[in-house]
Amino acid sequence: MENSTRNIVLGTIAALALALAAWRFVSKPPQKFEIPKTINHYAVCLSCKQESLISHPKELAAPWECPACGEKACYQWLYCSECNYRFVPNLVWREGIDHPIPNPYPYCTHCGCTNVTAFSPNNPDQAPLGDAPLPEWPPVK
């Protein structure tokens, strides 16, 4: 008799828990998810060498305007996971664009590795040992 009573109690508890979970799932209105319209990048100005957090519309590619000097010369810092250096990728000229853009296939300018990612100073796994030399500015076509 004890086993059947125990099974009934456990079954009732399980059914109530399932009903509560279903009620919470059904009664909760869906949350609206909005895709951010801006992106933040840690960048460095190749003109004045000032580092800053650049917030820009996601459609706007580098270079960005420097908050310190006003020149359109800010490029994103990247981080190499092999040599632990920060760097700005080599700049390339594209037909129809009046300014150089970062190499679309970035590689570390310090060691040549392609195991690179965006640099974030808040990431404990990214402790740079140094900075690779920055690309020349003003750029020469």
pLDDT in tens, 77-104: 999 999 999 999 999 999 988 899 999 9
- Give the residue-averaged pLDDT of 19-30: 76
Report the Cα 100 to chain-centroid distance in Å: 22
Question: 3-class DSSP state for residue 16?
Answer: helix
Are the beta carbons of 70 and 35 closer than 8 angstroms?
A: no
Asked if pLDDT for residue 124 goes beyond 90, the answer is yes
Nearest to 44 by CA among 16, 70, 73: 73
- If one compares 21 and 129, the residue with the highest pLDDT of the two is 129
pLDDT tens profile 44-88: 999 999 999 999 999 999 999 999 999 999 999 999 999 999 999
